[in-house]
Structure 1
Amino acid sequence: MAFSDETKDRFNAAVGVAKTIITVGWIPMIIYIGYRNSSPQPSLIKLITPLA
């Protein structure tokens, strides 16, 4: 089954957007999961800035 050029372009654009979302969101997601699962949850200001 062959895809048209327009379908290939849309697919490549969607894959590009998905890669960007995963790349940008990976570390914040890990930090959020760790924050939600910690027993004494630190304040958000201490989580964001290490000098607070």
Structure 2
Amino acid sequence: MSNINKDSISSKYIDQFTKLYKRGILELIRSPFFKVLFERKPQVLSFPAI
């Protein structure tokens, strides 16, 4: 019983974390700093996306 509870709680935390993580990446990409970085270093775009 306790193991099932722990798994469900941890999966909820992981879901929340992944949502926040993806949102954070989107915010970072939209930020002006990132635009400047891409304009100055276009070769960064050739790296595989995470």
With the shorter chain as reference, the TM-score category is 0.5 to 0.7
CA deviation after TM superposition for structure 1 residue 6, in Å: 0.6
Q: Distance in 1 between matches of 2:12 and 2:36?
A: 34
Q: Give the match for residue 32 of structure 1.
A: 36
4+ runs of 1 displaced by more than 6 Å?
Answer: none
Matched, 1:16 2:33: no
Q: How does 1:1-12 map to 2 (within 5 A)?
A: 4-12=7-15
Q: CA RMSD in A?
A: 2.3
Rg comparison, structure with higher value: 1
Give the helix-richer structure, 1 or 2.
2
Instruction: Normalising by structure 1, report the TM-score.
Output: 0.51
Identical residues among aligned pairs (%): 6
Q: Secondary structure at the match of 1:4?
A: helix
